[in-house]
Amino acid sequence: MASLRPLLPIAALLLLLLFLISFHSDPPPILSRTPSHPLDPLTFDEIAAIRSILVSYPPFAAPNQFPAIHSISLDEPPKLIVLRWRPGDPLPPRRATVTAYSPPGHTHLISIDLPSGRVLHHSNPSGFPFLTIDDMRRAIATALNDPSFLQSLNARGLSSSDVNCAPLSPGWFGSEEDHCRLVKVQCFAAAPNFYLRPIEGLTAIVDVDAALVIRISDSGPGIPISAGEDTDYRYSTQRNKPRSFSNPINPVSLEQVGGPSYFIENSHVIKWASWEFHLKPDARAGSVVSRARLRDPESGEWRSVMYQGFASELFVPYMDPSEGWYFKTYLDSGEYGFGVSSMPLVRLNDCPRNAHYMDAVFAATDGSPFVRPDLICIFERYDGDVAWRHAQPHIREARPKITLVVRTAASVGNYDYIVDWEFQTDGIIKVKVSLSGMLLVKGTTYQNLSQVPEGEDLHGTLITDNIIGVVHDHFLSFYMDMDIDGPDNSFAKFHMIKQETSPGESPRKSYMKVIGSIAKTEKDAQIWVTPYNKSEQWAGGRFVYQGHGDDTLATWSDRDRGIENKDIVLWYTLGFHHIPCQEDYPIMPTVSSSFELKPVNFFRRNPILRAPPYTEVDLPVCSVMASL
Amino acid sequence: MASLRPLLPIAALLLLLLFLISFHSDPPPILSRTPSHPLDPLTFDEIAAIRSILVSYPPFAAPNQFPAIHSISLDEPPKLIVLRWRPGDPLPPRRATVTAYSPPGHTHLISIDLPSGRVLHHSNPSGFPFLTIDDMRRAIATALNDPSFLQSLNARGLSSSDVNCAPLSPGWFGSEEDHCRLVKVQCFAAAPNFYLRPIEGLTAIVDVDAALVIRISDSGPGIPISAGEDTDYRYSTQRNKPRSFSNPINPVSLEQVGGPSYFIENSHVIKWASWEFHLKPDARAGSVVSRARLRDPESGEWRSVMYQGFASELFVPYMDPSEGWYFKTYLDSGEYGFGVSSMPLVRLNDCPRNAHYMDAVFAATDGSPFVRPDLICIFERYDGDVAWRHAQPHIREARPKITLVVRTAASVGNYDYIVDWEFQTDGIIKVKVSLSGMLLVKGTTYQNLSQVPEGEDLHGTLITDNIIGVVHDHFLSFYMDMDIDGPDNSFAKFHMIKQETSPGESPRKSYMKVIGSIAKTEKDAQIWVTPYNKSEQWAGGRFVYQGHGDDTLATWSDRDRGIENKDIVLWYTLGFHHIPCQEDYPIMPTVSSSFELKPVNFFRRNPILRAPPYTEVDLPVCSVMASL
């Protein structure tokens, strides 16, 4: 115990440091905020006020008539009003969009004017909003109270207290069950990492509004449940295991002793290097970047780049046509909500020490506001890479590359999606998506490949005894309302063709020639481009739950509207084919993919020619904490 | 001046710190090293000994018979001998390969046994080795002494002292000039950044052995020479310019107060985390990674991954068929040498502060050894990214991603190529290539696009007045002799097809199915795969200068040899199409591309499940240097 004593002063110092760090990073108390920008998200008080308006709204005021609230979010002012607004101007009237649901089958889309406390519009569109936590709990409870479902569990030696269940969206396959709001419940044997212990083949198809099991499907009583040995990835468990045969790594830290170089004005306007943009959490999209602008390095003029950008939809189809799997064609944003599925980021590990965190305020099912802390982090990154360089015998010049990263991490059930918006000093915006979490796995009787009959398709990889990692894809569609030097833009496509030279023209037989053209209409744009339309934001549709695909990017764009020199929206879909492998078990090493929005002939010349190099005096003096 | 006084003690401290840092980073004196691994590069003393052997070698001993030395490098022992060698065993006999040239037309390939001092083999292959510095100087001097060339310069108001010239490889186009060793000399008006002031259309075709100008081509007397205004990218110049309209960025530093986690044994064997590999500079390839192995996290067994990997060739064709440009189809590694074109890395800027540097020993044209310091850097990277994570309401776990980067940066004339080999704890090897430096530009009479006649193809982009950035490609072919758990491997290809379901099989109409096959012969391998052959290392041929393409990956592979369960080599070509833009002027913001070698069903499970998270006590306490 003596060895603990020298630690005491350090512990005290540590507490002080933690306090200082926490003091430094904490935003002003979120409950007292007032909006200061037309795009600022609804505040705690505003959501509370909206709830009061809804409670006294006549259609909802009778007993048991209050609907389930699925989301309450800012109804953004018209784009032209936002573009004309200047700091100091009064805010345009604050309005909210409420998505609510009254069983059975009544989806509400309500527009509320906060200053007047009035409901401006109320419609009942077709389709269902994303599931609430209450929907999920009710679906699972319904399954676990069903005698037939319990019998199937009992047949496997399990009771309802031995399982963790998942509320799965059913997709839409045109069956007779589609007339009501369905959740398919599948369960896992309880464990810290229950996802790897599927109770294979057992599905309860639940009418979530009626709290009734419509049908039980059980095709897998003979399939053993994996023991899930050593799948608990928590450090509290793993620290007690013998070390692996790897030399330990001394921590490497991003240190910025001068403090951050960004300024955050009124909680949501970020200014860094030549960039300025508005940033907010969103219950559906996760994070939304708006009004991204930068100052021209030569003229000092503010130049618009993007009016708004966010992850619009995420499509995750699994590639197994069997009864328990065919419907797994998730549209995670629209069916579960990317923002509400995001847990607080893990400080020091999800984001580096120099990160600032932004909280979210969302609405609970009863319409009351709640705070989800640390939903977004913002940090400056240096990874040892080079912004530009050149060396020759008497000149050696290089510049460090420092960028600003905005990060969210959604955990939609088993899977984790880290979405980064990275702003570079050279004008590039890079969007990177990193995947981790657990595979959605399928139980099997097979323990090794020699047991699999010739020609049988496992639809995946046998990643350990009795467990198949099922092949699947992830497609993230990003909405990017580009306003490059103003709202009206055109979409130019460039590609290269082989050009043969004429006889005698050149000793060279051929070369690559650049061919460019401007897309006139939507169908010309191979990468999707649509004219701006406030109602066209969600690539899979506004209400995608059991949706029929009639309100999607594909259907809008089918109108083939003109897109030349118009206010246009660019859609980019970033995809992953995931053929699982043993290394993905029990938790997946991160896999990333990215795309870049790059300025091309936007600046007159390299905008970072004058960036200074690092010298030794610029860098901090550091020591180990234990040496203090 | 008073303000300087407080800086004095800091300056003294700074000097001390610099001294300490420099002391810490310096390798043992390179001159005294002895090789300790069969793959260690030739030492200073060994190269000096080889020169002595060559000087007394009868064919070279007569006056004026000593050839120009183009390279002296280790002739690596046979692979099986290297694989059997264990630390402590005596080294296999040290042998060297000398590439030399006696004008006119005699290329020498000489194998020397160091212990015996004997020349083992001496052949005179066809083709020319990469240019020496002396070749380049002679070619330029020849052009600048040519009266007709001088007359063309004079006609533009320039003399030979007003220009910087480039020694350009002529490619091979089957013309009558190809019987001798050619260099095409083109010049630029002198300036710190002369590359942006081309003297367009003027080319001297030089017989470099005869030191004779064969022909002058001048198609551009009417084309003005750009003033190259504000193109000097040196900080010493730019620091005096007015600041751009960007908020300054506080430095972010990678700090690792516990010191590096890697061990470097005998200068060339790197051990980090579960990895071990041999690393050395190479005059042609830049850097060579050999015997990459890692310890299995469960068994502790050392498992082989790659016997050897390096950048084999770089092809940079420009896409302009005109007289002054058609021949610009550079094979930079084989024509100039990627290693000898690498200048010392710029400390703190090309690599972060926590980097270790490795020097190279190369041979000068007279065969004597010289040291090129800081040719490779090695550092541990943390950029705020996540190695794996998962969050759910009562579990939030994330792990920081730390990697080991090995970097070189070649400056082949105007262009800079940063090549990174990044080793990850999850078993991935990522190869990343980043491009910077100056564009190779073409002078033009046009100052803006409105002057360009309809239908005229500029073969590039008018990036500023009178300057076209010519369209070009960069293709880097990497040689990777994979030895996954041993030399004999097979190459399996996987792709996905759309599989329609049978009627009644599933509510799902189709799904993606994975189809895999093992390539039996070279032609089955769409990505190039060849059986290991010590003489097949350079994708464009061993002697590519004016080469005819008869010793290339394409010709070897045309034999369609068997590659199943054989010792095979994987070739990956990473490419960039570069359509220049204004932002590339005067120096190009870095552009990157990468590929990964990823373990798939190699480990039994995630090898980094037990990695610890960061906690506050793991991270350093830092302060600004000025606050000391």
Q: Return the percentage of chain B with pLDDT > 90, whole number.
A: 91
Q: pLDDT (tens digit, 9 = 90+) per residue, B152-183?
A: 999 999 999 999 999 999 999 987 777 899 99
User: What's the domain count of chain B?
Assistant: 3
For residues B141 and B131, the answer to whether their CB atoms sit within 8 Å is no
Whole-number mean pLDDT of chain A? 93
Give the burial class of B24: count Cβ atoms within 10 A of its Cβ; 0-12 exposed, 13-18 middle, 19 or more buried: exposed
- A3 — pLDDT class (breaks 50, 70, 90): very low
CB contacts under 8 A, A 110-169 vs B, are none
A520 belongs to a structural domain:
yes
A504 belongs to a structural domain:
yes
* pLDDT value, residue A19: 32
* b/e map A192-202, b = 16+ CB within 10 Å: ebbbbbbbbbb
B576 and A CB contact within 8 Å: no
Considering only CB atoms, B382 lies closest to which of A254, A459, A618, namely: A254
Pairs across A and B, CB distance < 8 A: 507
Task: Judge: A621–B621 Cβ closer than 8 Å, yes or no.
Answer: no
Among all residues of chain A, which has the CA nearest to that of B605? A583
Averaged pLDDT for residues B267-278? 97
**B95 and B195 co-located in one domain:** no
CA distance A499 to B218: 25
Question: Which of A347-356, A383-392, B573-582, B618-627 shows the lowest mean pLDDT across its residues?
Answer: B618-627
Among all residues of chain B, which has the CA nearest to that of A231? B609
> CA B24 → CA A287, B353, B388, distances in Å?
45, 12, 33
A128 belongs to a structural domain:
no
Q: Return the percentage of chain A with pLDDT > 90, whole number.
A: 91
Task: Judge: B349–A389 Cβ closer than 8 Å, yes or no.
Answer: yes
A565 and B CB contact within 8 Å: no
Shortest Cα–Cα distance, A120 to chain B (Å): 36
For residues A128 and A546, the answer to whether their CB atoms sit within 8 Å is yes
Among all residues of chain B, which has the CA nearest to that of A439? B390
The last residue of one of the domains, among A99, A123, A147, is A123
CA distance A221 to A324: 13
Averaged pLDDT for residues A398-418? 98
Considering only CB atoms, B251 lies closest to which of A21, A258, A501, namely: A258
B245 belongs to a structural domain:
no
**B90 and B140 co-located in one domain:** no
Averaged pLDDT for residues B328-351? 97
Measured between beta carbons, the chain B residues lying within 8 angstroms of A469 are none
Give the burial class of A550: count Cβ atoms within 10 A of its Cβ; 0-12 exposed, 13-18 middle, 19 or more buried: exposed
A263 and B CB contact within 8 Å: yes
3-state DSSP assignment of residue A25: helix
Shortest Cα–Cα distance, B11 to chain A (Å): 9
* pLDDT value, residue A29: 52
What tokens were used for A67? 């609907």
Shortest Cα–Cα distance, A122 to chain B (Å): 34
B400 and A CB contact within 8 Å: yes
3-state DSSP assignment of residue A106: strand
For residues A228 and A191, the answer to whether their CB atoms sit within 8 Å is yes
Q: What are phi and psi of B215, to 5 degrees?
A: -160, 145
**A189 and A60 co-located in one domain:** no
3-state DSSP assignment of residue A423: strand
* pLDDT value, residue A24: 37
User: Residue B551 above 90 pLDDT?
Assistant: yes
Q: pLDDT (tens digit, 9 = 90+) per residue, A541-593?
A: 999 999 999 999 999 999 999 999 999 999 999 999 999 999 999 999 999 99
CA distance A70 to A98: 8
Averaged pLDDT for residues B43-51? 97
Averaged pLDDT for residues B42-51? 97
Q: What angle do CA A84, A90, A92 make, to 5 degrees?
A: 65
- B9 — pLDDT class (breaks 50, 70, 90): very low
Q: Which of A209, A218, A282, A332 is catalytic?
A: A332
Q: pLDDT (tens digit, 9 = 90+) per residue, A17-53?
A: 333 333 333 444 555 579 999 999 999 999 999 999 9
B243 belongs to a structural domain:
no
For residues B562 and A497, the answer to whether their CB atoms sit within 8 Å is no
Among all residues of chain A, which has the CA nearest to that of B496? A577
Measured between beta carbons, the chain A residues lying within 8 angstroms of B615 are 348
Considering only CB atoms, A252 lies closest to which of B256, B387, B396, namely: B256
Helices (H) and strands (E) in chain B, counts: 9, 31
**B386 and B470 co-located in one domain:** yes
CB contacts under 8 A, B 205-244 vs A, are 230, 233-235, 238-239, 241, 243-244
Averaged pLDDT for residues B570-580? 97
A12 belongs to a structural domain:
no
Give which of A185, A206, A207, A190 is closest to A156, Cα–Cα: A190
Measured between beta carbons, the chain B residues lying within 8 angstroms of A251 are 256, 258, 382, 400, 402, 614, 618-620
**A279 and A387 co-located in one domain:** yes
Measured between beta carbons, the chain A residues lying within 8 angstroms of B258 are 250-251, 624
Task: Judge: B583–A589 Cβ closer than 8 Å, yes or no.
Answer: no
Q: pLDDT (tens digit, 9 = 90+) per residue, B100-146?
A: 999 999 999 999 999 999 999 999 999 999 999 999 999 999 999 99
Whole-number mean pLDDT of chain B? 93
Residues 6+ positions from B26 with CB-CB distance below 8 Å: none
Residues of the domain holding A45 = 30-123
* pLDDT value, residue B170: 96
**A35 and A172 co-located in one domain:** no
Task: Judge: A603–B610 Cβ closer than 8 Å, yes or no.
Answer: no
Task: Judge: A581–B604 Cβ closer than 8 Å, yes or no.
Answer: no
**A112 and A219 co-located in one domain:** no
* pLDDT value, residue A177: 74
A366 belongs to a structural domain:
yes
**B114 and B192 co-located in one domain:** no
User: Residue A597 above 50 pLDDT?
Assistant: yes
Among all residues of chain B, which has the CA nearest to that of A465? B604
Among all residues of chain B, which has the CA nearest to that of A400? B349
* b/e map B389-398, b = 16+ CB within 10 Å: bbbbeeebbb
Q: What is the CATH number of the domain that holds A75?
A: 3.10.450.40
The last residue of one of the domains, among A93, A123, A153, is A123
A104 belongs to a structural domain:
yes
Left (φ > 0), alpha (ψ -120 to 50) or beta: where does A230 sit? left
A473 and B CB contact within 8 Å: yes
Task: Judge: A174–B300 Cβ closer than 8 Å, yes or no.
Answer: no
User: Residue A64 above 50 pLDDT?
Assistant: yes
**A155 and A117 co-located in one domain:** no
Give which of A485, A138, A457, A182 is closest to A306, Cα–Cα: A485
Measured between beta carbons, the chain B residues lying within 8 angstroms of A577 are 496, 512
The last residue of one of the domains, among B233, B253, B279, is B233
A386 and B CB contact within 8 Å: yes
Q: pLDDT (tens digit, 9 = 90+) per residue, A459-518?
A: 999 999 999 999 999 999 999 999 999 999 999 999 999 999 999 999 999 999 999 999
For residues A603 and B246, the answer to whether their CB atoms sit within 8 Å is no
Task: Judge: B590–A385 Cβ closer than 8 Å, yes or no.
Answer: yes
* pLDDT value, residue B31: 55
Measured between beta carbons, the chain A residues lying within 8 angstroms of B606 are 583-589
Considering only CB atoms, B614 lies closest to which of A251, A582, A586, namely: A251
Task: Judge: B436–A389 Cβ closer than 8 Å, yes or no.
Answer: yes
Alpha helix locations (H) across A326-447? Answer: 332-336
Q: pLDDT (tens digit, 9 = 90+) per residue, A251-274?
A: 999 999 999 999 999 999 999 999
Considering only CB atoms, A587 lies closest to which of B384, B606, B618, namely: B606
- B32 — pLDDT class (breaks 50, 70, 90): low
Q: Which of A57, A318, A330, A415 is catalytic?
A: A415
Q: pLDDT (tens digit, 9 = 90+) per residue, B222-246?
A: 999 999 999 999 999 999 998 778 9
- B362: β partners: B370
**B348 and B468 co-located in one domain:** yes
Residues 6+ positions from A272 with CB-CB distance below 8 Å: A261, A262, A263, A380, A404, A423, B247, B249
Measured between beta carbons, the chain B residues lying within 8 angstroms of A14 are 616-617
B520 and A CB contact within 8 Å: no
Considering only CB atoms, A621 lies closest to which of B418, B586, B623, namely: B623
Residues 6+ positions from A494 with CB-CB distance below 8 Å: A514, A515, A516, B579
User: Residue B14 above 90 pLDDT?
Assistant: no
* pLDDT value, residue A8: 34
* pLDDT value, residue A601: 97
Averaged pLDDT for residues A2-15? 35
Shortest Cα–Cα distance, B525 to chain A (Å): 20
CA distance B609 to B399: 9
* pLDDT value, residue A220: 80
CA distance B610 to B612: 6
Q: What is the CATH number of the domain that holds B420?
A: 2.70.98.20
Catalytic: A545? no
Task: Judge: B386–A590 Cβ closer than 8 Å, yes or no.
Answer: yes
**B476 and B579 co-located in one domain:** yes
For residues A409 and A441, the answer to whether their CB atoms sit within 8 Å is no
Considering only CB atoms, B621 lies closest to which of A343, A586, A628, namely: A628
* pLDDT value, residue B110: 98
* pLDDT value, residue B30: 57
- A535 — pLDDT class (breaks 50, 70, 90): very high
By annotation, the residues of B acting in catalysis are 332, 415
A458 and B CB contact within 8 Å: no
B257 and A CB contact within 8 Å: yes
**B267 and B218 co-located in one domain:** no
Averaged pLDDT for residues A394-416? 97
Task: Judge: A252–B583 Cβ closer than 8 Å, yes or no.
Answer: no
Averaged pLDDT for residues B211-215? 96
Alpha helix locations (H) across B228-293? Answer: 235-238
User: Residue A628 above 80 pLDDT?
Assistant: no
